[in-house]
Amino acid sequence: MLLNSLEKIVANLPYGDGFKFVDQLLELDEESVIGIYRFRESEYFYKHHFINNPITPGVILIECMAQIGLACLGNYLMREKEGKSQFVFTENHINFLNTVVPETTVIVSAKKEYFRFGKLKVVVQMMDEYENKIAEGWMSGMIVNE
């Protein structure tokens, strides 16, 4: 997929800058997506999550995986309905294997398990820049009309 198209998908995610956990998509096609995000030390949640030893909350890691693995892939798969629908998170089963500290870059990859009747299910994993696996599992989402 062309870089300009990948940037457009990230730019059109329905999240503000303080809650967008996608810096860049590296690959995106009908079957899978790979994207990255750097958890910056200035993130709002580090100040209060494990004071003096901050780690990224698991719910934020799940959100990052959902934004890349579901929202980006889902929006790409339903691109013919652009502007008429949104893709929302519905359920997940994620196993956490490591923590994420400030200034860590994560790589999220998701493979489509199915996309039918407006519902997308993906197998997803998150690794750090040193190829340490952080989390893995599955998640799903669905199309909702605006």
Nearest Cα residue to 139 out of 108, 117, 97: 108
Q: Is 93 a catalytic residue?
A: no
Query: What strand order describes the sheet that includes 104-116?
Result: 24-28, 32-39, 104-116, 119-128, 133-145, 85-96
Indicate which residue of 49, 88, 128, 138 is catalytic.
Answer: 49
Q: Are 118 and 39 in contact (CB under 8 A)?
A: no
Active site residues: 49
